[in-house]
C-alpha cells in the first residue's frame, strides 16, 4: 500500500506521535496505512541469544512482560514512558521509526546491541540501531519500508543495566536521561555501554565515559571521571526544560546514579528504578 500510495501515505501504529503532529497540522498525510490490522506484528520472544520484539508491541506489554523482569533496563524504560494511556497505545516500532531526540527507547536500546529489521517490497534489511537512526526524526527507512522487529542481544552473565530519565511530569518527555549496561567481574567493571538522551539530536554514546569505567573498580573517583566525561560529550540545546549547562550537569548526575544501580543489579540485587520526577 505504501508503494501504491506514495508520499501521500503514512503508517499509523499507536498514533501517540503521529496523531498529535496531525492535530498540530505539522503532518497532513492524505492516507493512513494502519498497521494495527497486520496480524502477528506484536510479540516478545527469545531466539538464538536475542530478544525479539515485534514492531507493534506496546510499551505497556513490554513493561509487564517476563523479559522486563529479566532485563531490568527494559522495564525502567517501558514503565517510564509518559502515562498509562500512552503506554497502552504507543509501540516500540513507532518509537524507533519516529527517532524523536527526546524518545526513551532509542537511548536504552543503544546500550544493548540492537538491530532493526525492516521489510519492504524488495525484501528484508537488518540495520544496526546506530545506523538506523541517522539524525533527529530521520532514519534509514525507505518510504515503502516498515520496521518489523527490534532485536536485542541478551545481556551477558553478570551484567546489569539501568535507565534514569528526569522529567517534570508524566505526560512530558524527559529533560535528560542516561542508560548504562555494565558487565562486572567481581568488583571490576569488565565492560560498559552508555547512552545519553535528550542532550543531542540522536542518542549520544560517551566513549570516554565508557573507557573510564572499563577495567576499573566502581568507586567514587571512577564514577566522577565517567560522569565528567559524559558531561563533556553531551551537546544539549537550551529550551523550556532548562539551560544547556543545567542539562549537562543533570545528565552527568543521572549517569552516576544509573551506574550505581546497574552495578547492584549486575550483582543480582533487585533494585527498583525508573524515571525521576521534578
Ligand X SMILES: Cc1cc2nc3c(=O)[nH]c(=O)nc-3n(C[C@H](O)[C@H](O)[C@H](O)COP(=O)(O)OP(=O)(O)OC[C@H]3O[C@@H](n4cnc5c(N)ncnc54)[C@H](O)[C@@H]3O)c2cc1C
Taking CB atoms, the residue at the shortest distance from ligand X is 90
Separation of alpha carbons 146 and 91, rounded Å: 13
Residue of the chain from 6, 128, 171, 217 that contacts ligand X (CB under 6 A): 171
> Under DSSP, is residue 79 helix (H, G, I), strand (E, B) or coil?
helix
Q: For ligand X, which stretch binds (CB under 6 A), given 102-110, 186-194, 222-230, 258-266?
A: 102-110
Please tell me the distance from the alpha carbon of residue 160 to that of residue 268, in angstroms, as a whole number: 8
Please name which of 230, 44, 162, 74 lies closest in space to residue 222, comparing C-alpha atoms: 230
Per CB under 6 A, the list member of 11, 62, 189, 254 interacting with ligand X is 11
Q: Tell me which of 127, 129, 133, 147 binds ligand X, using CB under 6 A.
A: 147
Residue 13 binds to ligand X (criterion: CB under 6 A): yes
- Binding residues for ligand X, total number by CB under 6 A: 32
Q: Which of 10, 151, 248, 265 binds ligand X (CB under 6 A)?
A: 10
Q: Interface with ligand X includes 177 (CB under 6 A)?
A: no
> How many Å is the Cα radius of gyration of the chain?
18
Q: Is 16 in the site for ligand X (CB under 6 A)?
A: yes
Q: Does 55 bind ligand X (CB under 6 A)?
A: yes
Q: Which three cell numbers stand for residue 190?
A: 569488565
- Ramachandran assignment for 134, one of left (phi > 0), alpha (psi -120 to 50 degrees), beta (any other): alpha
**Residue 227 burial by Cβ neighbours in a 10 Å radius (0-12, 13-18, 19+):** buried
CB nearer ligand X, residue 213 or residue 258: 258
C-alpha closest to that of 75 among 87, 65, 84, 63: 63
Q: Is the Cβ of residue 72 or residue 103 nearer to ligand X in the bound state?
A: 103
Q: Which residues bind ligand X (CB under 6 A)?
A: 10-18, 20, 35, 55, 81-82, 86, 89-91, 93-95, 97-98, 100, 103-105, 141, 146-147, 171, 173
Amino acid at each position: 500500500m505504501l508503494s501504491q500510495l506514495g508520499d501521500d501515505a503514512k503508517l499509523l501504529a499507536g498514533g501517540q506521535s503521529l496523531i498529535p503532529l496531525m492535530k498540530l497540522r505539522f503532518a497532513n498525510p492524505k492516507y493512513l496505512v494502519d498497521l494495527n490490522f497486520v496480524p502477528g506484528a506484536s510479540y516478545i520472544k527469545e531466539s538464538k541469544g536475542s530478544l525479539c520484539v515485534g514492531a507493534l508491541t506496546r510499551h505497556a506489554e513490554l513493561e509487564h512482560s517476563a523479559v522486563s523482569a529479566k532485563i531490568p533496563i527494559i522495564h525502567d524504560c517501558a514503565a517510564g514512558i509518559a502515562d498509562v494511556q500512552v503506554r497502552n497505545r504507543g509501540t516500540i516500532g513507532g518509537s524507533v521509526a519516529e527517532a524523536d531526540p527526546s524518545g526513551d527507547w532509542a537511548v536504552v536500546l543503544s546500550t544493548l546491541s540492537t538491530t532493526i529489521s525492516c521489510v519492504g517490497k524488495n525484501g528484508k534489511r537488518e540495520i544496526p540501531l546506530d545506523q538506523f537512526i541517522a539524525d533527529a526524526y530521520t532514519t534509514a527507512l525507505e518510504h515503502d519500508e516498515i520496521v518489523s522487529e527490534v532485536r536485542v542481544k541478551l545481556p551477558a552473565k553478570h551484567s546489569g543495566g539501568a535507565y534514569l530519565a528526569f522529567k517534570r511530569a508524566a505526560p512530558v518527555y524527559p529533560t535528560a536521561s542516561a542508560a548504562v549496561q555494565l558487565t562486572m567481574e567481581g568488583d571490576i567493571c569488565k565492560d560498559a555501554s552508555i547512552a545519553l538522551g535528550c542532550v543531542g539530536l540522536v542518542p549520544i554514546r560517551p566513549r570516554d565515559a565508557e573507557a573510564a569505567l572499563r577495567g576499573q573498580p566502581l568507586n567514587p573517583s571512577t564514577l566522577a571521571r565517567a560522569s565528567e566525561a559524559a558531561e563533556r560529550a553531551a551537546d544539549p540545546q537550551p529550551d523550556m526544560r532548562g539551560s544547556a549547562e543545567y542539562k549537562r550537569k543533570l545528565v552527568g548526575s543521572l549517569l552516576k546514579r544509573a551506574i550505581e544501580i546497574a552495578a547492584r543489579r549486575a550483582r543480582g540485587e533487585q533494585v527498583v528504578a525508573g524515571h525521576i520526577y521534578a
